[in-house]
Structure 1
Amino acid sequence: MVPLTSLFLLSIVIVSCRGNPEGFLPSLAQTTREITGAVVTQPLFQAAAQGAGELIARTVYDAARLPAAIARVLGVSDTRPVLINKNNIADKADKILAKYHAGLGNEDAFLKIDKLIKKYGYPVEKHEIVTEDGYALGMFRIPRNGSAVFLMHGLFGSADDFVIAGPESGMAYLLAEEGYDVWLGNARGNKHSRRHVELQPSDAEFWDFSWHEIGYYDLPAMIDYVLNYTSQKSLKYVGHSQGTTSFFVMSSERPEYNDKVGLMVALSPVAYMSHAKSPFIRLAGPASEYIGSIMHGLGVHEFLPDNNLLRTIKMLMCGSSPVAEIICINPLLLTSGFGFAELNVTNLPVIHGHTPSGAAVKQVVHYGQGFNSGDFKQFDYGRSRNLRMYGSEVPPRYALEKIRAPVSLMYSADDWMAHPDDVDALYQRLGNAIDIHKIPHPQFNHIDFIWAKHFRTLIYERLRKLLAAF
């Protein structure tokens, strides 16, 4: 029942640490003992001797030890979240499973985004835009008479991220209620943007992009379309995670677009990553020079696509029970710091039904390079190709000093992707930053910026005031 993604990540650990076997092997051995112990100490015949609740609880807790063990190997602090509190295993698991089970019948998990928006009484439009380099991007709009607000998702995400929390917490719904004309973007390669004028998703060349191209081509194309369609001179931009990274690329590489953004709100801003606690990034960093070639050799160019094959593999690897579903969410622990403090567990089946939405391997590798270099740079192709492409052996830094659009940064202390020190480094380089705000919650993590139970009070109230002021 070990998630397929976790097995893949563990293989990257081995590759990335092969240069230091003396220090790595003891930790790997301990990790292996933990994983093996979690399996052999819970044989099925013990079910007769234990109450079902406790057996389920211990199984969930042990399964959660895999990402925790990998995190320890990589030197991540012991403040990492776990699914089950070992001091109250059975009670905690029973409550989580009961809430999860209550949400299994929610049809929102199976509705496409346009049907989902219509279900809650909002009008919706679907638009398609073709970029300069030929990618067809899907966009969704909740039309209103107010100023345009553009929402951009993070890595592995899509426009769905802003509506699956439901009308009480979904950012797109809340903004529409305020009268804003809400536009939901989709980056190339995700489930809503898998078309090209010449290439097919089965072609390796289709996936030859990172978040640099998303910022350089996708965002300008979508922003221009929104402004032309609405006859407005500027819009307000709200980005989450990679949605902030791509904005910083656009506004530094194509500075004329600063005049088209009246305000940018960065939720969990990701530019500098040298302090990132995410084991996923710490794995991708040292192994970044190998990942691309390995995956290319295997004919794999996309991470976590939303397709029938992935769902079938997930069922075969994990089963279809609520416990299995919760166990298989564990790879998110390695990415963003995933706990239950602000997670609406009842809504977890809906989240499963809409995420992940796919991303290019190159996007992940580019983030890994940022962890390695400690800087915010263009993609590193190696010395010889860098010379041909950039005129220097190292890729150029993004000129953040060219960003003129006002930027508000919102971060948290427990975010595994956007570490407070890295956000502060970004803030220091942004001469246009109007403020920086720390979320007052001790366990607020990366995905809570869009799916938190208390999204209204922790995020939205501040967001609405910012938007109203510009």
Structure 2
Amino acid sequence: MYQIDLSLKRISCVLFVFLLIWCVTDAVDDNRYLSPKKFGQLRGDEIIRFYGYPGEEHKVLTEDGYILTNFRIANPGGYPILFIHGLTATSDCWFVGGPAHDLSFRLWRRGYDVWLWNGRGNLYSMDHVNISWSDEKFYKFSMHELGYYDTTASIDYILNVTGHKSVITIGHSMGTTNVLIAAASRPEYQPKIALNILLAPGAFQRNLVTRGFSDTSYSQYVRWFNFDHLERILEKDSFYFKINQLFCDPTGPTAELCYFSMGLISGLGSNQTVKDAVMKMMTKFPAGTSLNVLKQEIQNLRSGDFSPLSYSRKENLKRYGTPKPSPYPLGKVQIPTAIYYGCCNDLLSHVKDTKLLKSRLPNVIRFYKVPYRLFNHGDFLWAKDAYRLLYKDIIILIDQFTPYQYRSNVTIEPVSID
């Protein structure tokens, strides 16, 4: 009797999901045009609903009191997937291509329950239980806290809401460090992650083409431009944020220069870059973070290691029990990990550093080089042929690591040949 009741519940759940998809799909318009200007005016859940998809906002409380605003393309009953954005970005970076293109929407159409993370300090996650975002104490965090607190809190929240026991995670750029930090620092979270997908990893930075420029820029900013010794940088409504908004106004006179500057940062020469998608990205990028996040990146860039932020000797002893923090023990991260990388034109993620990361992780189950030499850092988000070059392989892999009872029955789209 119990087995029959359980089967009926599963059948009812499946029927509910199909009914929801049918009802929503009836109103979906994947080709509805959303201009960069309008994109910049909408919040993440509003962008999702603009195309007729079920967009939700979720508030997530971390152990240390930060309140994150995460978004969801809701698919109740579907297996959960958590998207993690990169440095000073927001979850909206996963929407810049539109539903017909983006991996987030493609996975929803396959029946997955899609969740999108926003780290503390960006324009969506500026709340705390007892500290105002205008207080410098709010920004006393580094990359470590983004993984140790924000990512783990988001995973727990998703599992609590959905009833699932694990999630699949997808990170881009610095967002690839979150799960690595969480898993290395809090091993109890490893069973909660069925698969960790890293796009253009940002853990090691020994060989970056922009290494010298990044180091010098940070040093000059700290020495000459941060005269108020602020803990924050590029946050919402700051001077630099407003300047960037003017510079990257999609309808303004400097829009072309803004577009070129993103190519300069990501890697010039790619024929995959979609201008409209880039300009959407730039309406909310950079979106703010703590100076300590950049400081940790620069420390790792200089040392060649992947380690927590180093403070004073006294503070290090208090936090880590050692005069200097030890590198994250990546060798203990047993989560099945897939690494996707560009070989030759990604200025923010070098192939040598990617191979170093692969050598440190004990369970890399996919190491995929994008089959286009000029594929750049931003192309992982907006490449016009992303499905053919990248997303189809990711979708097939995700299906394989999804518990069998939740695997999609939707046929994999063939790759179109132009």
Q: Give the TM-score of the pair, scaled to structure 2.
A: 0.81
Asked whether 1:355 is paired with 2:285, we answer: yes
Distance 1:375 1:223 in 2: 27
Letter of the aligned partner of 1:143 in structure 2?
A: A
Q: Deviations over 1:304-335 (max 9, x none)?
A: 33448556434766888655112134554564
DSSP 3-state at the match of 1:349: helix
Judge conservation of contact 2:249–2:283 (CA < 8 Å) in 1: no
Residue equivalent to 2:122: 190
Residue equivalent to 1:428: 359
Distance 1:103 1:174 in 2: 18
Asked whether 1:207 is paired with 2:139, we answer: yes
Counterpart pick for 1:370 among 294, 300, 306: 300
Residue equivalent to 1:391: 321
Asked whether 1:234 is paired with 2:175, we answer: no
Q: CA deviation at 1:267?
A: 0.6
Counterpart pick for 1:261 among 185, 193, 204: 193
Select the structure that is richer in helix.
1
Distance 2:339 2:118 in 1: 22
Distance 2:333 2:153 in 1: 18
Judge conservation of contact 2:36–2:276 (CA < 8 Å) in 1: no
Residue equivalent to 2:391: 460
Q: CA deviation at 1:286?
A: 5.7
Distance 1:163 1:104 in 2: 12
The number of equivalent residue pairs is 367
Judge conservation of contact 2:136–2:232 (CA < 8 Å) in 1: no
Counterpart pick for 1:243 among 157, 175, 196: 175
Letter of the aligned partner of 2:69 in structure 1?
A: G
Distance 2:246 2:172 in 1: 32
Distance 1:320 1:162 in 2: 19
**Cα RMSD, aligned residues only:** 2.5
Counterpart pick for 1:169 among 78, 85, 101: 101
Mapping of residues 16-55 of structure 1, within 5 Å: none
Q: Deviations over 1:362-406 (max 9, x none)?
A: 111211111100111111224454344333332211000111110
DSSP 3-state at the match of 1:115: helix
Compared CA separation, residues 308 and 286, structure 1 to 2 (3 A):
closer
Counterpart pick for 1:403 among 321, 333, 344: 333
Asked whether 1:272 is paired with 2:204, we answer: yes
Compared CA separation, residues 463 and 425, structure 1 to 2 (3 A):
same
Compared CA separation, residues 290 and 209, structure 1 to 2 (3 A):
farther
284-293 vs 122-131, greater mean Cα deviation: 284-293
Asked whether 1:445 is paired with 2:349, we answer: no
Residue equivalent to 2:47: 116
Distance 1:292 1:254 in 2: 32
Compared CA separation, residues 403 and 268, structure 1 to 2 (3 A):
same
Q: Give the TM-score of the pair, scaled to structure 1.
A: 0.73
Distance 1:318 1:125 in 2: 28
DSSP 3-state at the match of 1:327: helix
Compared CA separation, residues 111 and 433, structure 1 to 2 (3 A):
same
Counterpart pick for 1:419 among 337, 344, 350: 350
DSSP 3-state at the match of 2:283: helix
Residue equivalent to 2:231: 301
Q: CA deviation at 1:131?
A: 0.5
Letter of the aligned partner of 1:153 in structure 2?
A: H
Letter of the aligned partner of 2:338 in structure 1?
A: S
DSSP 3-state at the match of 1:175: helix
Q: In structure 2, list runs of 5 or more residues that go unmatched.
A: 1-32, 402-418
Letter of the aligned partner of 1:126 in structure 2?
A: E
Compared CA separation, residues 123 and 458, structure 1 to 2 (3 A):
same
Residue equivalent to 2:92: 160
Letter of the aligned partner of 2:179 in structure 1?
A: F
DSSP 3-state at the match of 1:410: strand
Distance 2:86 2:213 in 1: 19
Q: CA deviation at 1:105?
A: 7.3
Q: Deviations over 1:128-161 (max 9, x none)?
A: 0110111000111111132111111001111101
Q: In structure 1, list runs of 5 or more residues that go unmatched.
A: 1-101
Q: CA deviation at 1:458?
A: 1.5
Letter of the aligned partner of 1:367 in structure 2?
A: E
Distance 1:203 1:371 in 2: 29
DSSP 3-state at the match of 1:409: strand
Compared CA separation, residues 103 and 234, structure 1 to 2 (3 A):
closer
419-428 vs 285-294, greater mean Cα deviation: 285-294
Q: CA deviation at 1:428?
A: 0.5
DSSP 3-state at the match of 1:138: strand
